[in-house]
Amino acid sequence: MCLSKQNNIADSVARVTDTFKSGKTLPLAYRKKQITAVRALFTENAEAIYDAVYKDLHKSRTETFLAEIQININDCDKHLNSIDDWAAPRYHNTDVINLPAVTATQPEPMGVALIVACWNYPFALLAGPLIACIAAGCTAVIKTASEEHANASMALWCELLPQYLDNEAYVIVSGGADALEGLLEQRYDVIFATGSPGLGRMVHKAATKHLTKTVLELGGKSPVYVHRDCNLTIGARRIMWGACAFNNGQTCVRPDHLFIDSTIADSFIANLKKEAKAMFGEDAQKGNTYNRMAKSKGHFERVANILKTDAKYVVYGGNSDAADWYIAPTILDFGTDAEAFHNSAAMQGEIFGPIIPILRVDTPEVAYKSILSREKPLSLYGFTNNKKIQTEMLKLPAGTTQFNDVVSHVLNPDAPFGGVGNSGMGAYHGQAGFDNFSHMKTVMVNWSANDLAARYPPYSAMDKRLLRLVFREWPDTMINVLNNPAKVFIVGAALAAGAAYYMHFMKR
């Protein structure tokens, strides 16, 4: 059952706050039990998830398996296998003035989290941050994504989550903007939100009231540069998959627009068309492999209007059917007309649909200039093996950069995923998620044995010389030796042996 009324929201936040303060979520055994329960939620309810996602987004079972079910099972397994290491103290060298103290960073839970989910991956984008939150030892209030976009999936979340997780520590809340506004009036220790830059600003503004940490996974226009050395077949196949096939282009890291080297543009566009037909058939609407837009009238009309406004540049697709929530896989070719490209409807914001606008360029620098003129993207893609171009592209600001493929980088559980600037702040996936729901508390354990008298006033000339000697930056090799008892013993023994040899033989 989901909560939505303001008084229920306040009571729920108070309840999970009390649970956190009780220390219930601190033991690793408790955290593992809850993560195991999340895993069971997916393994025991796969059929219901397939049905809900199909109703909302017309996703195939294979795509739902990969992007909504198995990815979360893998995430649970990753956290279960790694939580002991991630939660353990992380030891650091101790400086000379504090030796022989022990210095470490101890991860501790941030506290109470608010997790704001998004509709385009209705299970993965809620489960991912939730698993990291649980692993870190936090309690959480979870805000479902918009029911308008993913009603069946959110209803299933509201049914299942209370059955599997500890209701004293994890509460799910449904509703629209009013529910979110009510949630943001409460106090949390960390807020994790997935959505548009507009949502990010709203969340970040609310968080400043209590100086609450925010992790924002947003979006933007992720550009692609295709160089002349690109593998035309594989490059076109991967871009068509990421831009149109995978969730019908409703992915925050989808390849949003292309800059193609003019010398290969005709061939590359021909390959894009070929791959579209191979994936979806001659008529994508009649096939059973093509997804649909979310069932939101406003969202659908916005994307459909791009087709109408930029109709003169359509070289493939271009049609839509509101009754079927269908937008055809579409290619827009602006030739070398940079002005028309940048002023087009397709380039005025994140497309979030199966439309690929293309500008032909003579040099990669034209692409770089365009990329630098816009907000920092969540992802940047380059199709080239040219090391010089790869080096130059790595200088361009972006949340992530991937060469010779698209989207697949988010599937790597060991690679932190997050944006920068307008595309977000913070990261998650694997240890990065655990760390962002944790406070890294520095701990130093000193001994009475290291009570250096020279640190206390009054300071003699000898005290000052000694302080200048020890309180400076020492070479890492020396610090590493001094922080290793075995090495200290060996060095000490060697010095003692050397001194004994000198005293015995050299003084005779």
Residues annotated catalytic, as ranges: 217, 252
Q: Count CA within 13 A, CB hemisphere, residue 379.
A: 26
Neighbouring C-beta atoms of residue 495, cutoff 10 Å? 10
Phi (first) and psi of residue 275, to 5 degrees: -70, -35
DSSP string, 260-323: EETTTHHHHHHHHHHHHHHHH-SSTTTSSS-----S-HHHHHHHHHHHHHTGGGEEE---EEGG
Three-class secondary structure of residue 447 per DSSP: coil
Pairing mode, strands 255-261 and 222-226: parallel
Q: For residue 232, what are the contacts with CB-CB under 8 A and spacing of at least 6?
A: 264, 267, 268, 271
CB-based burial label for 134 (10 Å; 0-12, 13-18, 19+): buried
Q: Nearest Cα to 19, choosing from 138, 168, 130, 181?
A: 168
Strand ranges (E), 320-364: 320-321, 326-327, 330-333, 355-361
Phi (first) and psi of residue 343, to 5 degrees: -90, 0
CA angle 113, 119, 120 (to 5 degrees): 120
Q: Nearest Cα to 189, choosing from 208, 213, 160?
A: 213
Query: Is the CB of residue 330 less than 8 Å from the CB of residue 354?
Result: yes
Q: For residue 167, what are the contacts with CB-CB under 8 A and spacing of at least 6?
A: none
Neighbouring C-beta atoms of residue 371, cutoff 10 Å? 21
Q: How many helices (H) and strands (E) does the chain have?
A: 19, 18
Pairing mode, strands 213-217 and 222-226: unpaired
Neighbouring C-beta atoms of residue 449, cutoff 10 Å? 8
Q: Nearest Cα to 283, choosing from 308, 319, 237, 249?
A: 319
| Alpha carbon distance 154, 173 (integer Å) | 10
Query: Is the CB of residue 154 less than 8 Å from the CB of residue 147?
Result: yes
